[in-house]
Amino acid sequence: MLEGKAVVRETDMPEEMQSRVMELAYQALDLHEVSDCQSIAHYIKQKFDEAYGPAWHCVAGKDFGSCISHLCGSFIFFHVEMMEFLIFKDGSDFSETKEEAIGVLQEAKKSDS
């Protein structure tokens, strides 16, 4: 499990939802290996779909880029130690969407072999 504090990089999500998604991230990290990013992302997405309706998306990892459109009030990008999380809800009403470009690149530590 990662022990660090969640740090929000960018969001337009209400504080209650922010707290919930960070709580889910910690739960996912407790349930899955840190290297199993797909299972971590699936867990968070599934719980958010159950709580707030369908069409949520979750990206979890250490090295990714994105350019997304999201429903206003449904976007958060945060990290816990080296693990990054991008959660957003897709919307069909494009008058209420916003585009975000997110990039994460973390250099792998070189081992002293």
Residue with tokens 């958010």: 48
Domain boundaries defined on the chain: 6-104
Least confidently predicted of 7-11, 91-95, 105-109: 105-109
More confident residue, 24 or 66: 24
Residue with tokens 């470009």: 101
Give the pLDDT confidence score for residue 9 in this predicted structure. 95
Beta pairing class for 97-104 and 83-89: unpaired
State residue 10's pLDDT score: 95
- Give the Cα separation of 5 and 65 in Å (integer): 23
Specify the pLDDT at position 100: 59
Residues 6+ apart with CB under 8 A from 96: 71, 72
CATH topology of domain 6-104: Protein Inhibitor Of Neuronal Nitric Oxide Synthase (3.30.740)
Instruction: Enter the pTM of the model.
Output: 0.79
